[in-house]
Amino acid sequence: MAGSGTAHMREDEKRVLTVENLLVEFPAGKQTVHAVSGISFDLVPGETLGIVGESGCGKSTAGRAVLQLPKPTSGKVTLDDMVLGDMSASSLRITRNQMQMIMQDPISSLNPRRKVKHLVTEGPRIWGTKNKAKLEAMTRDLLTAVGLDPDAVMEKTAGELSGGQCQRVCIARALMLRPKLLICDEPVSSLDVSVQAQILNLLEKTKKEFEFSMIFIAHNMAVVKNISDRIMVMYLGKVCEVASTENVQDTAKHPYTRLLLDSIPDPNRSRDGEDEIEIIEGDLPSPLNPPSGCRFRTRCPLATDQCAAEEPLLREIGKDHFVACHNV
């Protein structure tokens, strides 16, 4: 299915992040897990790139590989003009200050034995900031910025906070080092719907205030649409469509993207059968032995013999809109 190719890369714009032909594989006994198979994407200053797809598509692995955690099997990751794969371990450790990650489970990503004031200031303290008054002032400012009362939470541990409060602490901790790039790995999937909206609004607010770019990873297309400037759809380690968020509901062309969009609840959808939701048939193929050609072909309603024989490349079909499908 989708995507190899770099037709969607923006050569004429300043880019914060450039990822080229990213390949991540893991040994599994005598076999190999093909987690991410040669994807490419870029990110410009102030942009939010949404990476969406069902569980097992490789989106979280791709996000971690950008941070070189673990180092990808092959491919090139460039932050500004720095090629991360060419760096020594010490240089990479320093460069990671500019890249921070918010984990999927906010509670388990926080040390349960440490207080909030220590969790948020851990980064600056590791890198040599010893001034306690300065650290406390920074902590109070950031906790306030993420919607928490410093006096109410600074002396508490993660176990004394709600899931939404823990996620706000995670955001404050990530922003403490003033990163250029924030990678959010399904940061709202474990939260109540009302809290999800608060966290999404908070991320938008802090992105403008602290001037960073963001990769937002999720399996919920509705969430990704609300926060992203550009959407990249993944399936089984490949990219199938890249498009701007504006009007994606009407312009998306790849069958898999359309199915993801149809999964969003719509109160206005007809109940007379005319607007029935399409359902993906069959099970997700194993990443140990992905299908030949287009990886989505085993579940695609448009599949032909060409789809089994030849992998489609990403090609432009409209302004900032790229699809990897033989039949679109």
The CA–CA distances, whole Å, from 104 to 54, 167, 221 equal: 15, 9, 16
Angstrom distance (rounded) from CA 38 to CA 3 = 8
Angstrom distance (rounded) from CA 300 to CA 320 = 24
Tokens of 166: 């823990």
CB 235 within 8 A of CB 295: yes
pLDDT at 2: 44
Structure-token match 């902590």, residue found: 139
CB 116 within 8 A of CB 78: no
pLDDT at 328: 86
What are residue 276's phi and psi, to 5 degrees? -65, 145
Helix (H, G, I), strand (E, B) or coil at 233: strand
pLDDT at 148: 94
Tokens of 102: 């918010």
* Statement: 17-251 belongs to CATH 3.40.50.10420: no
Q: At what angle do helices 193-210 and 163-175 cross, to 10 degrees?
A: 10
Tokens of 134: 């300065």
Per DSSP, helices labelled H in the chain are: 59-66, 89-95, 116-126, 132-145, 150-153, 163-175, 193-210, 221-227, 248-251, 255-262, 305-309
Predicted confidence pLDDT, tens digits, the chain (328 residues): 445 678 899 988 899 999 999 999 999 999 999 999 999 999 999 999 999 999 889 999 999 999 999 899 999 999 999 999 999 999 999 999 999 999 888 888 999 999 999 999 999 999 888 888 999 999 999 999 999 999 999 999 999 999 899 999 999 999 999 999 999 999 988 888 888 889 999 999 999 999 999 999 999 898 999 999 999 999 999 999 999 998 788 899 999 999 999 888 776 665 555 555 566 677 789 999 999 999 999 999 889 999 999 999 999 999 999 999 999 8
The CA–CA distances, whole Å, from 132 to 118, 137, 149, 177, 199 equal: 11, 9, 19, 16, 29
- Quick one: the chain helix, strand, coil %, rounded to 5? 35, 25, 40
Angstrom distance (rounded) from CA 273 to CA 260 = 19
| The overall pTM is greater than 0.85 | yes
CB atoms closer than 10 angstroms to residue 55 = 9
CB 68 within 8 A of CB 85: yes
